[in-house]
Amino acid sequence: MNRFLWMSLILLATSFGCRQKVEAPVHRDYLVISTEPATAWIRNFNPFTAATGGGRWSTLAAIYEPMMIFNRMEGQYVPWLATEQKWMDASHKELLVTLRSDVKWSDGQPFQASDVGFTFDLLKRFKALDASGVWNFLAGIDIVDGLHVRFRFAKPFAPGILLLMQQAIVPEHLWKTVSEPVSYANENPVGTGPYTELRLFENQVYELARNPYYWQKDKAKVAALRFPAYPGNDQVMLNLLKGNIDLAANFVPAVDRVYVGKDPAHHHYWFPSVGNTVFLYLNNAQPPYDQAPVRKAISRALDRDKIVKVAMFNYTEPSHPAGLSKAFEKWRVSADEKSGDWVHYDAARAGRELDELGFKKGKDGLRRLPDGRVWSLDIGVVTGWSDWVRTVQIMAKNLRDIGIDARMRTYDFGAWFSQVQRGEFQAAIGWSNDTVEPYEFYRWLMAGSATAPVGTVASSNWQRFSHPEVDQRLEALAGSFDGTEQQRLVRELQMIFLREAPAIPLFPNPAWGTANTRYFTNFPGPDHPYAVLSPNYRPEILQVLTEIQPQNAAISKL
Partner 1 sequence: MGKIFGRLGFYGVAIFLALCLNFIIPRLMPGDPMSMIFARFQGQMSPDAIVALRQEMGFTDAPILVQFYHYMTSILHGNFGVSTSLYPAQVGSVIWQSLGWTLLLAGASLLISFTLGTILGALAAWNRGGVIDRWVTPALIFVGSFPYFWLAMLLVYTFSYVFEIFPIGHAYSDGLKPSWTLGFALDVLHHLCLPAVSIILATLGGWILSMRNAMITTLGSEFINLAQSKGLTQRVVLFRYAARNALLPNITGLGMALGYVLAGSMLTEIVFSYPGQGFLLVQAVRNQDYPLMQGLFFCITIAVLLANWLVDLAYLWLDPRTRGAQT
* Contacting positions for partner 1 (CB under 8 A): 11-12, 14-16, 18-19, 21-23, 37-40, 42, 44, 46, 49, 51-54, 126-133, 136, 182-185, 200, 202-205, 226, 228-232, 234-235, 238-239, 241-242, 244, 276, 412-415, 417-418, 421, 431-435, 444, 457, 459-460
How near is the Cβ of 435 to partner 1 at its closest, in Å? 7
| CB nearer partner 1, residue 313 or residue 444 | 444
126 or 528: CB nearest partner 1: 126
Nearer to partner 1, 284 or 546 (CB): 284
* In contact, 71 and 543? CB cutoff 8 Å: yes
- Whether 392 and 429 have beta carbons less than 8 Å apart is answered as yes
- As a whole number of angstroms, the distance between CA 274 and CA 262 comes to 27
Q: How far is the CB of 556 from partner 1 (least distance, A)?
A: 26
Q: How far apart are CA 544 and CA 553, in angstroms?
A: 17
232 or 264: whose CB is closer to partner 1?
Answer: 232
Tell me how far, at minimum, the Cβ of 89 lies from partner 1, in Å: 26
As measured in angstroms, the least distance from the Cβ of 369 to partner 1 is: 28
Q: Which is nearer to partner 1, 18 or 555 (CB)?
A: 18
Residue 413 CB, shortest distance to partner 1, in Å, is: 6
Asked whether the beta carbons of 50 and 56 are under 8 A apart, the reply is yes
> What SS3 state is found at 454?
coil
Q: Looking only at Cα atoms, what is the longest distance across the chain?
A: 90
- Which of residues 199 and 488 has its CB atom nearest to partner 1 in the complex? 199
Whichever of 14 and 556 has its CB closer to partner 1, that residue is: 14
- Cβ nearer to partner 1, comparing 131 with 495: 131
Side-chain half-sphere exposure of 178, counting CA atoms within 13 A: 21
Residues 6+ apart with CB under 8 A from 199: 207, 208, 209, 224
Q: Any bridge partners for residue 94, and if so which?
A: 152
40 CB contacts (<8 Å, ≥6 apart)?
A: 203, 204, 229
Nearest-CA neighbor of 429 among 481, 394, 454, 476?
394
Distance CA 474, CA 490 (A): 9
Q: Find the shortest distance in angstroms from Cβ 111 to partner 1.
A: 26
Nearest distance, CB of residue 414 and partner 1, angstroms = 3
Residue with Cβ nearer partner 1 (7 or 369):
7
Q: How far is the CB of 219 from partner 1 (least distance, A)?
A: 26
CA–CA dist 392, 407 (Å, integer):
9
Contact between 409 and 379 under an 8 Å Cβ cutoff? The reply is yes
> 300 or 538: whose CB is closer to partner 1?
538
72 burial type by CB count under 10 A (0-12 exposed, 13-18 middle, 19+ buried):
buried
Q: Minimum Å distance from CB 270 to partner 1?
A: 21
- Give kind and range of the element (H or E) at residue 419: helix 413-422
Beta carbons of 175 and 123 less than 8 angstroms apart: no
Instruction: Provide the minimum distance between the beta carbon of 276 and partner 1 in the complex, in angstroms, as a whole number.
Output: 7
